[in-house]
Amino acid sequence: EPEVTQTPSHQVTQMGQEVILRCVPISNHLYFYWYRQILGQKVEFLVSFYNNEISEKSEIFDDQFSVERPDGSNFTLKIRSTKLEDSAMYFCASRVSLYNEQFFGPGTRLTVL
C-alpha cells in the first residue's frame, strides 16, 4: 500500500541553524501539507501546497519557513534559523484531491538545543 515517507525520523540541531525536513508524498497525489505537533499539544496546520505554489498558510508559517517541491517526488520544509520553540513533530501529508482524505507520514521529530 502506498504511503507518505519522511526523513529523517529525528533531527537534532542547534538554535539558529537551518534545517530541511524531507517528505515523499504518495505518487499520484496533488496536494501537499505540513503540520506540526508540539509535545502534548494539538496537530497544527502550517502550509498547503498545490501546483508548485503555496495555497494556504497559517500564522505559524512565518518568514523563517519555506516549502519546495524540488523535483517530481520530494516535498521539503525548510526552517532558516531554528528557535527553541520550533521543537516539535513535523508531519507531512498528501491527498489526491480536495475531496479526499489526507494521508500522513510518520513524522520527523525536530529537537532544537
* Residues in touch with another protein (CB under 8 A): 4, 33, 35, 41-45, 48, 55-56, 58, 89, 91, 93, 98-99, 101-107, 109
Give the residue carrying C-alpha cell 501539507. Answer: 33
Cβ neighbour number for residue 80 with a 10 Å cutoff: 13
CB nearer another protein, residue 39 or residue 84: 39
Q: How far apart are CA 94 and CA 6, in angstroms?
A: 12
> In the bound complex, what is the minimum distance in angstroms from residue 105's beta carbon to another protein?
5
Task: Write the CB contacts of 6 (distance below 8 Å, at least 6 apart in sequence).
Answer: 21, 22, 23, 24, 90, 91, 92, 105, 106, 107, 108
> In the bound complex, what is the minimum distance in angstroms from residue 106's beta carbon to another protein?
5
CB nearer another protein, residue 64 or residue 106: 106
CB nearer another protein, residue 42 or residue 52: 42
